[in-house]
Amino acid sequence: MTVNFACTVASKELLKRVFQNVNAQSCPLSYNFHMHTVYSDGKLQPSVLMEQAIAYGLKGLAITDHHTIGGYEAAQLWLEDWRWKNQGSQIPHLWSGVEINANLLGAEVHILGYGFDIKHPYMKPYIQRQCVTGEDYEAKNVIAAIHEADGLAVLAHPARYRRTLFELIPEAARFGIDGVEAFYAYNNPKPWKPSTIETEQVQKLAGEYGLYTTCGTDTHGLSLLQRL
């Protein structure tokens, strides 16, 4: 039987504790909260992604395909089967995840949802493999939907948008966002490392507004260790 770890209270509390302790060294070999599969615009099959996660010794991760949880569901099924065949082995904790396009201050941003109930009706518009419009497209409503589904909302790569992170983070905080993706490699260096200036700026604002800071490689390629 498949167990939805992401829907349990303990899983959400664990996620909060992890977010509280994420730092520049957490990603990509301990945690990775931003990854894409073939279910959206990535190149990895969910099974290969999970094989890499186990091989690298990840403690926890989330697959954040655009507007779909198909990759997460496939990875979860694979992981349950792997755990049954490898009883007693350490396995990474897999949280539900999705990346959602939204309007914030007139700019399109991406909001990451984590640990939400995948069957909750409030999430349905955002997991139909297409962008939403109207009221559903507004950031405050995306954040509210994630919260209704008992998840955590995070502003992805806040230094990549038409409006500055100094404008967007306070506004997202006003709408109740839980965190910001602080540790992100904007120039895709090899090996992966978070961009120094942007990380410091995001961390400072996160501290001012009481937000979690997260990390992720935003992989779209064939390795979890790089974006492309």
Q: What is the pLDDT of residues 156-189, one digit of tens each?
A: 999 999 999 999 999 999 999 999 999 999 999 9
**2 — pLDDT class (breaks 50, 70, 90):** very low
Instruction: Examine residue 26 and state whether it is found in any structural domain, yes or no.
Output: yes
DSSP annotation of 226 reads S
Instruction: Examine residue 93 and state whether it is found in any structural domain, yes or no.
Output: yes
Mean of the per-residue pLDDT values of the chain: 95
Instruction: Examine residue 205 and state whether it is found in any structural domain, yes or no.
Output: yes
E strand or H helix at 6, and its extent? none
Question: Which of 34-43, 85-94, 104-113, 116-125 is predicted least confidently?
Answer: 85-94
Q: Which residues pair with 107 in a beta bridge?
A: 104
Using the predicted structure, report yes or no on whether residue 10 has a pLDDT greater than 90. Answer: no
Using the predicted structure, report yes or no on whether residue 56 has a pLDDT greater than 70. Answer: yes
pLDDT at 88: 87
Using the predicted structure, report yes or no on whether residue 51 has a pLDDT greater than 70. Answer: yes
Using the predicted structure, report yes or no on whether residue 4 has a pLDDT greater than 50. Answer: no
Instruction: Examine residue 55 and state whether it is found in any structural domain, yes or no.
Output: yes
**33 by DSSP, 3-state: which?**
coil
Residue 10's CB is within 10 A of a number of other CB atoms, namely 8
Report the alpha-carbon distance of residue 122 to residue 136 in Å, rounded.
10
**102 by DSSP, 3-state: which?**
strand
Per the model's pLDDT, the better-predicted residue between 7 and 187 turns out to be 187
**206 by DSSP, 3-state: which?**
helix
Instruction: Examine residue 8 and state whether it is found in any structural domain, yes or no.
Output: no
Q: What is the pLDDT of residues 64-104, one digit of tens each?
A: 999 999 999 999 999 999 999 999 898 999 999 999 999 99
Average pLDDT over residues 97-120: 98
When divided into structural domains, the chain yields a total of 1
Using the predicted structure, report yes or no on whether residue 49 has a pLDDT greater than 50. Answer: yes
Instruction: Examine residue 192 and state whether it is found in any structural domain, yes or no.
Output: yes
CATH code where residue 168 lies: 3.20.20.140
pLDDT at 8: 53
Containing domain of residue 113, as a range? 15-215
Instruction: Examine residue 220 and state whether it is found in any structural domain, yes or no.
Output: no
Using the predicted structure, report yes or no on whether residue 37 has a pLDDT greater than 50. Answer: yes
* Distance of alpha carbon 4 from the chain centroid: 17
Instruction: Examine residue 96 and state whether it is found in any structural domain, yes or no.
Output: yes
